[in-house]
Each structure stands twice: as structure tokens, then as C-alpha cells.
Amino acid sequence: MGIEIPSNIEQAVSIVMDAIMSVDQKEELRQVREENLSDGRPYYIECWAEDQLTMLTFFFSTSGIDKYTETMLKELLVEEKYVQFIKKDAPVSVMHFIDASENELWSVNVCIGTEDEIFANDLISLRAYEKLDYT
């Protein structure tokens, strides 16, 4: 079995979601938003849930911010008014990667909460995930 190399952010996210969730779960739980940050940088946000966790995943270019730390990326999301952290130690993970089109991107995962605890509030409007057809 070969490894599928995604050509864009949406396809990369779709591949990961295919690996971890059933089709019904993805359709029910996934919402997205595509716009620009205040500096004009395009971004893609996805909200998803699994194993009693609700997550927001942000994807955007590293251009000019490639040396940012996790703390700086959290501050960026607050400054852009996308997330309000309720707890200082809210679970956040960041990953720098290069997509198939050779774009350098940040992936920033924010745990909004579990079934028992809220870590952050999302301050954004999302739309339902649209099924992508790569055939």
C-alpha cells in the first residue's frame, strides 16, 4: 500500500480524519472555516471531536512567523479573537510541516474541552464540513 501525499491542506486533513474516524463520525463532527488573518495570511480552521475531546485545528503559513513558539502561536490566536483560553495550561500542540505544494505551514491544535472540563472558548463561526471529491 502506497502513501498518499496530499496536495493541499484540506486533503491533508481529510487523509488524517479518514485514518482516525468513521465516515459518519466525520460528517457529524467536522466543521470548517477558511478566511484570512489580520495580516492577510490565509488560514483554515477545523473543529472536530473524538474520544470525548473537542479540538480546533488551525492551519496557516509560517512565512514571517516560522520562529514562533507555542506560546506565541497561542497569543496570536487570542489576538485574532479566535480563541479565549479559560485555563492557562489549556492543552495546545503545534507542528510545523511542508505540504505537497512545498508550502511551509503551522498546524496548531487547541483542545477546547473534554466531556468534564472546558479549557477554552472558540470565538468563531464555522460552517458544516463539505465532503470533498478527489476522484
Q: What is the reported pLDDT for 36?
A: 80
List pLDDT tens digits, range 13-69: 555 555 545 444 444 445 566 678 899 888 888 888 888 888 889 999 999 999 999
User: What is the rounded average pLDDT for all residues in the chain?
Assistant: 77
Count of CB atoms situated within 10 Å of the CB of 60: 22
Can you give the pLDDT at residue 28? 46
Closest CA relative to residue 75, chosen from 83, 86, 65: 83
* Residue 23: predicted pLDDT: 47
